[in-house]
Amino acid sequence: MNQAQLLQSVLVSLPEIVVITGACVLLILSLFVRPERGYILDLAAIAVVLVAAALTWALADQNLLVYSGMFASDRYSAFFKAIFYISTVLTLLLSRRYVEIERVQRGEYNVLLLFALSGMMIMASANDLLSIYVGLELMALCTYVLTGLLRREVRSNEAALKYVILGAVSTGVFLYGVSLIYGLTGTTELDALATAVTASQRDPGLLLAVVFIVAGLVFKVGAVPFHMWVPDVYEGAPTPITAFMSVGPKAAGFAVILRVVLNPLLAATDVWIVVAVIAVFTMALGSFVALVQDNIKRLLAYSSIAHSGFVLLGIVAGGPDGAASVMLYLLIYTFMNIGIFAAVIAMRSEVGRGEAIDDFSGLSRSHPALALSMLLFLFALAGIPPTAGFFAKFYVLVALIEGGHVTISVIAVLLSVVAAYFYIRIVMVIYMRDPAGKFELAFTPGLKLALAIAVVGTIVIGLLPAWFLNLAQMSVLGG
């Protein structure tokens, strides 16, 4: 790599550099900011993300492969980075009051979030199994720590421990797959890899390696059979972190899966059958188990598993429409899922409140505005029009049927009826039960802003999806 190439590489990866440098500066800054002025740290973190977003915007139309082909900068990665930025900013807006109530160190909190963000960004841009691994680990290590931030709470500790151990196993599996690939083909670059796999389709070693890699990635999106960590981690982690994990890292996982699996060469093989089976089982498990939950964080964990299954269907569909449907789904999911978590966080005016579904009884009488926005998010998650959640599902189904998978799509919609049941059950608790008692909401300006952004996102994409659809279709790899 000569001087000019190096310079170009640095330029193209400026957003990542900004985020990492910003995180380091923030770490130092947090030592000098007094606790009561903690909002400065939030604002600084948001500013860092916004600068990175601006840089990404400026770089979006470049289609470059830098760092010796390990790092790609294209519209595809820019689209995913936009999802990461939105989820990070919304998480930062959500966290303030929660962090105070739970007495978490704010400096570390924001810094870890930014590092996790940079890890996700690297994952979206990675074009080599090794750079994927670097991003994956950077993100994973930060989320492990964030999960365990509630030091005094046993559930949080347990969740973090579980997450670390299972996460380490999955990373190990992933790495083993990578080493097999390298041993068999002599490369870790995705394009070369796809050529090798397509050339020798039935090589059992290669097949094993691909299975290992897919298993490692599927762990991150919480799909069956690697979903066991999701409910415990989602329940134990600080709620804003749960919100973050359910959208950001999950989208990052899908970014990698899409890049690996939807590589035009690899797509010619029969990988889709494996993905289809995983997708259907994931949806079924998430939908059915969520039916019996009475803790809202656990319920949303299973709901997020079910949604992962639905997104995987977009990958099954394949082709540009399939990829675009995955991307659009993840964008929409970011708004509606962070929205519902924002409402859960708003309920947490004291330690322990707002986790049992019964805490929401009669919310429509005591806090009608919050109840109405929850109604919106729940129906969006259930996929009822005219919310964005409907269009997300609709487009995945269009892609699926275009690919000729009518049976799978029938199974998918029937399972989404099952899922609708537990969403409208929460609506029932909110609207059709009497209030359990008076309580205050933990509203902050940031939380209100996050809620408003989520509401607007869910409604606007639902009513006017054309622009977002075009954006997703333009950002598809090779599109």
Partner 1 sequence: MGFPLLSLIIFLPTAGVVAVLFMRDAKTIKWTALAVTLVDFVLCLLLLLGFDTSTHEMQFAEERNWIPALGIKYAVAVDGISILFVFLTALLGWICVLASWNAIETMVKAFMVSLLAMQTLMLGVFSALDLFLFYVFWEAMLVPMYAIIGIWGGERRVYAAFKFFLYTLAGSVLFLIGIIVLYFQGGRTFDILALMNADLAFVTQAWLFFAFLIAFAVKVPMVPVHTWLPDAHVEAPTAGSIILAGVLLKMGTYGFLRFSLPMLPEASVYFSTFMLILSAIAIVYGGLLALAQDDLKKLVAYSSISHMGFVTLGIFALNSRGVTGGILQMLNHGITTGALFLFVGLMYERTHSRSIADYGGLMKVAPFCSIFLGLFTLSSMALPGLNSFVGELLILSGAFAANPLLAGISILGAVLAAAYLLSMFRRVALGSARVEEQYDFWDLDRRELASILPLAVLVIWIGLYPKPFLSIIQTSADHLLTQVHDKEGAE
CB of 285 vs partner 1, minimal distance in Å: 19
**How is residue 476 annotated by DSSP?**
S
Spatial distance between the Cα atoms of 22 and 186, rounded to a whole number of angstroms: 37
Q: Where are the alpha helices (DSSP H) in 186-238?
A: 190-199, 204-221, 229-236
Taking CB under 8 A as the binding criterion, the range among 9-17, 120-128, 175-183, 395-403 that sits at the site for partner 1 is 395-403
Taking CB under 8 A as the binding criterion, the range among 50-58, 207-215, 239-247, 413-421 that sits at the site for partner 1 is 413-421
CB of 414 vs partner 1, minimal distance in Å: 7
| Residue 394 within binding range of partner 1, rule CB under 8 A | yes
> Which residue among 47, 54, 168, 413 contacts partner 1 (CB under 8 A)?
413
Residues 57-116 that bind partner 1 (CB under 8 A): none
Reported as type and span, the H/E element at residue 71 is strand 71-73
> Which residue among 25, 208, 277, 401 contacts partner 1 (CB under 8 A)?
401
Residues 427-466 that bind partner 1 (CB under 8 A): 427-428, 431-432, 465-466
Q: Which residues pair with 218 in a beta bridge?
A: none
How many residues line the site for partner 1 (CB under 8 A)? 35
> Which residue among 27, 51, 211, 398 contacts partner 1 (CB under 8 A)?
398
Taking CB under 8 A as the binding criterion, the range among 8-16, 133-141, 152-160, 396-404 that sits at the site for partner 1 is 396-404
CB of 396 vs partner 1, minimal distance in Å: 10
Spatial distance between the Cα atoms of 110 and 135, rounded to a whole number of angstroms: 18
Spatial distance between the Cα atoms of 81 and 255, rounded to a whole number of angstroms: 10
Length of the chain: 479
Contacts 24+ apart (CB under 8 A), 409-412: 409/313, 411/280, 411/283, 412/280, 412/283, 412/310, 412/313
Q: Which is nearer to partner 1, 244 or 422 (CB)?
A: 422
Q: Which is nearer to partner 1, 298 or 393 (CB)?
A: 393
Q: Which is nearer to partner 1, 199 or 410 (CB)?
A: 410
Taking CB under 8 A as the binding criterion, the range among 48-56, 225-233, 253-261, 468-476 that sits at the site for partner 1 is 468-476
Among the listed residues 331, 368, 377, the one whose alpha carbon sits nearest the alpha carbon of residue 473: 331
Token couple for 21: 């440098």
CB of 473 vs partner 1, minimal distance in Å: 6
Taking CB under 8 A as the binding criterion, the range among 57-65, 249-257, 261-269, 361-369 that sits at the site for partner 1 is 361-369
CA distances from 299 to 16, 18, 87, 279 (A): 34, 36, 20, 19
Backbone angles phi, psi at 127, to 5 degrees: -125, 20
Residues 367-386 that bind partner 1 (CB under 8 A): 368, 375, 379, 384-386
Q: Which residues pair with 71 in a beta bridge?
A: 66, 126
Is residue 129 within 8 A of residue 188, CB to CB? The reply is yes
Q: Which is nearer to partner 1, 194 or 412 (CB)?
A: 412
Token couple for 25: 């500066």
Token couple for 412: 């998918």
Q: Which is nearer to partner 1, 341 or 431 (CB)?
A: 431
| Residue 361 within binding range of partner 1, rule CB under 8 A | no
Spatial distance between the Cα atoms of 113 and 106, rounded to a whole number of angstroms: 11
> Which residue among 114, 223, 326, 397 contacts partner 1 (CB under 8 A)?
397
Spatial distance between the Cα atoms of 286 and 328, rounded to a whole number of angstroms: 21
Binding site for partner 1 (CB under 8 A): 364-365, 368, 375, 379, 384-386, 390, 394-395, 397-398, 401-402, 406, 409-410, 413-414, 416-417, 420-421, 424-425, 427-428, 431-432, 465-466, 469-470, 473
